[in-house]
Amino acid sequence: MPVSPHFQRLEAESIHILREVVAEAERPVMLYSVGKDSAVMLHLARKAFYPAVPPFPLLHVDTTWKFRDMYALRDRAAAEAGMPLIVHRNPDALAAGINPFDHGARHTDLWKTEGLKQALDQHGFDAAFGGARRDEEKSRAKERVFSFRSAKHGWDPRAQRPELWRLYNARHAPGESIRVFPLSNWTELDIWQYIAAESIEVVPLYLAAPRPTVVRDGTILMVDDARFRLGPGETPVERHIRFRTLGCYPLTGAVESRADTLAAVVAEMQVTTTSERQGRTIDRDAVGSMERKKREGYF
């Protein structure tokens, strides 16, 4: 149980949101990306419905390019929660051999955006929990807790429903769906402080350790498996690194750090001068790129 009034307020708000969706949606699902935000969201869901098991499945939209440590934790966390885990890999992307080395932005579009849409359509989910926070990016900062998507999964930022008090209007037409963000009002620092306080298991990659790396365009990349294509003359160098966000390993930048405990990570967070999304190469394509992705159906 959180001790501080700040965390009591955040936790109670998230639990309230999780329960509202389960009470009003027909087929909810939780997007589980295995990152730190997903870990907190799953933890809160288990609290919200205790002693019952959260009454919805977990969905992992897999790109086949996640870190190996992520796959290991994913299966363990789902089993521990007693929740069904659905893993969806876009068959078209698989067939076409889409990968982050050859296909650039198409990699994210096909594996993640299209993959997500396929999974939601295939299972008929009408509400999907996501771990996004408003402090991540400017267009996220404008998004409601309940974010409505058309039957084609598009987001219209100019037609968002007013969202008053603790009242969430979850009604939607057949085919339409809702993306729900229970962590909207959490900050990155909140997430880490809560993980430490509640002893939530996270992927070890968030903690610093010596790992094989290469540096490209100023970004430190980890050589997680043999698929990593080394350039001519490029050799992996061991560096003490950790990650602030986790995605497809060839697209996720690390930071050099000696913070090998949660306490050290929290301490580091409090003096950091860069935002976490700096490590995500996909968000820096162009000004407004996140808004564009969301309009197209990205989480």
Partner 1 sequence: MATASHRGGAPAGDGARTRSALYEDDAVSRPDRSDAGRSRPDHDGADKTMLRFITCGSVDDGKSTLIGRMLYDAGALFADQAAELEAEAGTAAGLDFASLVDGLTAEREQGITIDVAYRYFATERRKFVVADTPGHEQYTRNMVTGASTADLAVILVDARKGVLTQTRRHSRLVSLIGIRRIVLAVNKMDLIGYDRTVFERIVAEYRTLAAPLELDAVVAIPLSGLTGANVVHRSEAMSWYSGPTLLEHLDQVPVVATDHATTAFRMPVQWVNRPDQDFRGFAGTVVAGTIHPGDPVRVMPSGRASRVARIVTADGDLPRATAGAAVTLVLADAVDCSRGDVIAAAGDPSAVADRFAATLVWLADAPLVPGRGYLVKLGTATAGASVRPPDHVVDVNTGTQHAAATLALNDIGAVEIALDRALAFEAYADNVDLGGFILIDRTTNATVAAGMITGALRRAENVHWQSIEIGRDARARQKGQSPRVLWFTGLSGAGKSTIANLVERKLHAIGRHSFLLDGDNIRHGLNRDLGFSAADRAENIRRVGEVARLMADAGLIVLSAFISPFRADRDAVRALIPHGEFLEVFVNTSLSDAEARDTKGLYAKARRGEIADFTGISSPYEEPTAPEIRVDTTRETAEAAAERIVERVIGVWSHDL
Q: Which is nearer to partner 1, 167 or 226 (CB)?
A: 167
**Contact between 101 and partner 1 (CB under 8 A)?**
no
Tokens representing 295 are: 């309009």
- Given 27, 49, 228, 268, the residue binding partner 1 (CB under 8 A): 49
CA distance 203 to 246: 9
**Residue 291: what residue type?**
E
**Contact between 258 and partner 1 (CB under 8 A)?**
no
CA distance 244 to 279: 7
Strands 177-180 and 146-149: antiparallel
* Contact letters for partner 1, residues 117-136 (x by CB under 8 A): -----------------xx-
Cβ 13 to partner 1, closest distance in Å? 8
- Radius of gyration in angstroms for the set of CA atoms belonging to the chain, rounded to a whole number: 19
CA distance 101 to 228: 8
Place of tokens 């409090």: 270
Total binding residues for partner 1 by CB under 8 A?
A: 68
- Given 62, 69, 109, 190, the residue binding partner 1 (CB under 8 A): 190
Beta bridge partner(s), residue 240: 210
- Given 38, 63, 184, 252, the residue binding partner 1 (CB under 8 A): 184
Strands 177-180 and 127-129: parallel
Q: Which is nearer to partner 1, 85 or 264 (CB)?
A: 264
Does residue 51 have a cis bond before it (omega within 30 degrees)? yes
Residues numbered 270 to 299 that lie near partner 1 (CB under 8 A) are 270, 272-275, 278, 287-288, 291
Residues numbered 133 to 152 that lie near partner 1 (CB under 8 A) are 134-135, 137-142
CA 179: distance to chain centroid? 13
3-state helix, strand, coil in the chain (%, to 5): 40, 15, 45
Cβ 69 to partner 1, closest distance in Å? 23
Residues numbered 6 to 45 that lie near partner 1 (CB under 8 A) are 6-12, 15-16, 19-20, 22-23
Place of tokens 């009003």: 24
**Contact between 201 and partner 1 (CB under 8 A)?**
no
**Contact between 164 and partner 1 (CB under 8 A)?**
yes
Q: Which is nearer to partner 1, 122 or 261 (CB)?
A: 261
Cβ 108 to partner 1, closest distance in Å? 19
CA distance 154 to 176: 10
Helix (H, G, I), strand (E, B), or coil: what is residue 51?
A: coil
Helix (H, G, I), strand (E, B), or coil: what is residue 272?
A: coil
**Contact between 262 and partner 1 (CB under 8 A)?**
yes
Residues lying near partner 1 in the complex (CB under 8 A):
1, 3-12, 15-16, 19-20, 22-23, 46-53, 134-135, 137-142, 157-158, 160-167, 169, 171-173, 184-185, 187, 189-190, 193-194, 196-197, 262-263, 266, 270, 272-275, 278, 287-288, 291
